Structure 1
Amino acid sequence: MFVRTENFRSFIRLYPIITIIIAIHILFFIGVNLSTDLLRLTAGFNIYILAGEYWRLVTPIFVHEAFPHFLFNSFSLFLFGPALERILGKYKFIIGYIGAGVIANIATLFLQGPGYSHIGASGSIFGLFGLYVYIIYARKELIDQQNSQLVMTILVLSLVMTFVTPRINILGHLFGLVGGAALGPILLMSRKSRY
């Protein structure tokens, strides 16, 4: 389920949404490192969101400035996204991924205060884990025991890292997780068979 054996071409064909999101990550990573104006335009500056720049609830999901941040989030999407893209289908995966990120960014907006700013896909990545948590506890037929244990182990480690790593949007991570779990029943309402 989480072992990637596809070559580059077959990965693109099987998981087009994840491929597009990672490509957007790459383009924004290059762009914001070449132009601080692009970073200023796309970052989640709460004060600007409150002033009506609502695109900033979405754009931070795709923006990374530091290479380790970009690499970690893109690699997490590469590992844990394909099974969900296959389970949910392309359109529901987009809704789940962006929806969880937006929920995380809305929570950040209201709970971090107007002076706070943030970037990164972490809220959406934690949203994927939230979807997995919903599947593990409410839709066990969609995932086997071994993969359930793997997901929960990585989630626990990720939550520990959330609280011990400096400059992390803790609320973004937590509300991304909650957002993904909350979207699970809606997105998986009609899904019947196992991955």
Structure 2
Amino acid sequence: MPISFAKPPAAMAANLAAVLPRLAASANLEARAPAITRGAARMALGDAMRMATTLAEVRDADAIATPVYMLGLDDLAAGRIIPGAKLKLWAQIVPTEAGAVSAEARASDSRFAQMSNGISVGRFRNALTRMAAAPPADDGEVAQLRIPALHITCLWLKGGKAGDRFEVVDAPAGVLPIGQIYSAAELAAALKTHAASRMANREADG
């Protein structure tokens, strides 16, 4: 099975296109974050955007859409990486000359949630572009896994024949190396101590 892309909710593109032109027209935002205003302007195309459906289309597509799963500390500490991951958002990522931008909608109702041009957005798209140039042996469906409490984002290849794979695209220094690829069991083992420490701090803070 080749690497594939999940189909986003039907209402997502239209909902983003209805909201984002206001951001694209903001002079203040343009001065502070030009990538966001340029990305917002492109997403105003809505259903007319060319979405990547295969790795080969990533480089030239208008956007990439991926589901975003969140993992809490309790599940992480218990080693429940895949069972504990909850679908919370859908991300629509577009490249701009000022960097990649992600517009995100709630998975529950496809309404606009947030927009970001953080470093993890560019790294996520770059990882897919790299895969397109040299397709890996791995397969699976493209998704994101975020562990907010540890500030970690991974590119998740879901349901591959050899098991789920997680490539780290954003993590604090000293926690996980950027670009490292883990199985679910390996990721749980690598983060067990960090999760336990953060949970202990949380309990101490009351």
TM-score (norm 2): 0.29
Higher relative contact order, chain-length normalized (CA < 8 Å, sep 6+): 1
TM-score (norm 1): 0.30
Bigger Rg, structure 1 or 2: 2
